């Protein structure tokens, strides 16, 4: 689209919003201040650099699209490409399996910040908003029987507690070097395929392990802990140790962050409704924005009703400073750069749509009991000229407007991705 068309459309659209009392410039300013944490693992289908098999907890990338990143250089180049197609300043979310160990096999409980120096230097050079982190409790021989921090064997538990502590220190180093707290998120695959008899003991062991992990006091300005629950996984259909209730209680009593993943609840539950409930008690949340299709399928995030409702809750509730937004999906059946770009752009569109609501007016209607007008307004808002505001935001951030980003991805695919074999 011609730049002059984008600007003309923006002017008209801004007038339409202004009629409702919405200041589009204000909305764009607010949007620019919301960083999204882009998960690196869409870039390589969660393979990591340890040369191990992906396994555990039913997380599985399906598809065989060519060109996945095979090492840190390739992954960083791909991420740079994504960020060149998306407006704003964002974060990257790493797992411990993305350590750079110079070809040496470092046991996970011995990982150190130096193994992430390449990532930290890159994040600084790229002027990223920051880095986030995750210990990796899957794709490992000591996780092969489906238990890690809640394992009945104390030696295996100990190994994973040491890994957890090692990762917390790495997150702290990231946060210190980059000047923004790194959120270190703990998700474990632990659970039973079939009906357990003793549901309590694994949870007691998990609690002890987490307490041992948190005993090491680190600088909250540099790192924060989050815990992520799950309902079930492949191989843990009947029982998951780290359930929602377990971690809600844990996060509350230990004053750490609760991580909620959109795919980790019963299919008719919505993440959106959980935000104000949990924030009534926990200080901060980490969200894993995903798209469950019939199950926790981790499809690429798109601008659907669920995403919009989540964004609306964050904005309407005034929760921007207490909600950390991370993406979590992995689809190996399409171009991975496109997958990340679609996910990031969709998240930003949802936030912008939410920021463009005439919130005070809507609240007024609600408190006056005028539910007729509330419904009417919410429906009218859906067809306001949102696209013109979004296009203008992309143009002024010097990223492609509309579908033009896809041409750049196609070019990158031709120049870079097809040369990768595997
Ligand atoms: C798995 C969780 C978890 C992972 C990542 C890779 O069900 O959603 O967040 O997707 O840690
Ligand atoms: Zn998740």
Looking at the annotation, which residues are catalytic? 187, 228, 230, 261, 264, 288, 296, 298, 328
Residue nearest to atom 11 of ligand 1 (CA): 187
Each residue's pLDDT tens digit, 66-122: 999 999 999 999 999 999 999 999 999 999 999 999 999 999 999 999 999 999 999
Question: Got the DSSP string for 287-354?
Answer: EEE-B-SSSS--BPP-S-HHHHHHHHHHHHTT-GGGEEEEE----SSS-HHHHHHHHHHHHHHHHHHH
Predicted confidence (pLDDT) at residue 380 exceeds the cutoff of 70: yes
In this structure, are residues 327 and 347 in contact, taking their beta carbons and an 8 Å threshold?
A: yes
210: Cα separation from own chain's centroid: 22
Q: What percent of the chain has pLDDT over 70?
A: 98
Output the pTM of the full model: 0.97
For atom 7 of ligand 1, the residue with the nearest CA is 59
421 pLDDT more than 90: no
Instruction: Give the separation between CA 259 and CA 183, rounded to whole angstroms.
Output: 10
Binding-site residues, ligand 1, Cβ < 6 A: 41, 46, 59, 134, 187, 228, 230, 261, 288, 328
d(CA 329, CA 298): 4
Residue 289, Cβ neighbours under 10 Å: how many?
27
pLDDT greater than 80 at residue 422: no
**CA-based end-to-end distance of the chain:** 36
Closest listed residue to residue 50, CA positions, set 140, 121, 184, 151: 140
* CA dist., res. 332 & res. 298, Å (int): 11
Distance between Cα 328 and ligand 1 center (Å): 7
Q: How far apart are CA 61 and CA 58, in angstroms?
A: 10
pLDDT of residue 54: 67
To test the pocket of ligand 1, the residue of 143, 226, 228 to mutate (highest count of ligand atoms within 8 Å of its CB) is 228
CA distance 96 to 361: 46
For residue range 307-355, list pLDDT tens digits in order.
999 999 999 999 999 999 999 999 999 999 999 999 999 999 999 999 9
Q: Taking the CA atoms of the chain, what radius of gyration do you get in angstroms?
A: 22
Kind and range of the H or E element at 144? none
Hey, is 280 helix, strand or coil? Answer: coil
Q: What percent of the chain has pLDDT over 90?
A: 97
CA distance 40 to 45: 9
The rounded distance, in Å, linking the Cα atoms of 336 and 43 is 6
- What pLDDT score does 57 carry? 63
Which ligand has an atom closest to residue 242 CA?
Answer: 1
SS3 state of residue 196? coil
């Amino acid at each position: 689209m011609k730049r002059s068309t984008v600007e003309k459309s923006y002017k008209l659209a801004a007038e339409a919003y202004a009629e409702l009392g919405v200041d589009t410039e204000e909305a764009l300013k607010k949007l620019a201040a919301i960083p999204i944490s882009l998960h690196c693992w869409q870039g390589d289908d969660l393979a990591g650099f340890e040369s191990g098999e992906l396994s555990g907890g039913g997380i599985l990338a399906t598809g065989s699209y060519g060109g996945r990143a095979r090492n840190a250089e390739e992954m960083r180049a791909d991420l740079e490409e994504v960020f060149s197609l998306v407006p704003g300043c964002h974060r990257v979310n790493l797992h411990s399996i993305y350590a750079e160990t110079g070809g040496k096999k470092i046991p996970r409980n011995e990982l150190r910040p130096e193994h992430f120096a390449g990532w930290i230097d890159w994040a600084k050079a790229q002027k990223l908003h920051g880095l986030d982190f995750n210990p990796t409790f899957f794709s490992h021989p000591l996780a092969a029987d489906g238990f890690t921090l809640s394992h009945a064997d104390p030696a295996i538990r100990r190994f994973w507690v040491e890994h957890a502590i090692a990762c917390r220190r790495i997150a702290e180093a990231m946060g210190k070097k980059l000047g923004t707290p790194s959120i270190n998120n703990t998700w474990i695959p632990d659970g039973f395929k079939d009906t357990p008899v003793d549901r309590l003991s694994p949870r007691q062991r998990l609690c002890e392990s987490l307490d041992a992990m948190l005993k090491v006091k680190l600088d909250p300005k540099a790192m924060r802990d989050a815990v992520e629950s799950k309902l079930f996984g492949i191989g843990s259909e009947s029982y998951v140790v780290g359930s929602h209730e377990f971690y809600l209680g844990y996060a509350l009593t230990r004053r750490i962050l609760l991580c909620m993943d959109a795919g980790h609840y019963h299919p008719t539950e919505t993440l959106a409704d959980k935000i104000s409930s949990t924030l009534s008690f926990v200080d901060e949340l980490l969200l894993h924005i995903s798209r469950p299709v019939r199950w926790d399928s981790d499809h690429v995030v798109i601008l659907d009703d669920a995403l919009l409702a989540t964004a609306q809750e964050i904005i309407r509730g005034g929760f921007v400073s207490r909600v950390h937004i991370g993406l979590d999906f992995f689809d190996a059946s399409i171009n991975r750069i496109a997958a990340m770009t679609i996910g990031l752009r969709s998240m930003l569109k949802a936030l912008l749509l939410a920021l463009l609501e005439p919130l005070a007016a809507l609240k007024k209607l609600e408190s006056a009991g005028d539910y007729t007008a509330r419904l009417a307004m919410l429906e009218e808002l859906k067809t306001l000229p949102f696209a013109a505001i979004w296009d203008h935001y992309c143009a002024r951030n010097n990223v492609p407007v509309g579908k033009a980003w896809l041409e750049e991805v196609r070019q990158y695919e031709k120049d870079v991705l097809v040369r990768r074999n595997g």
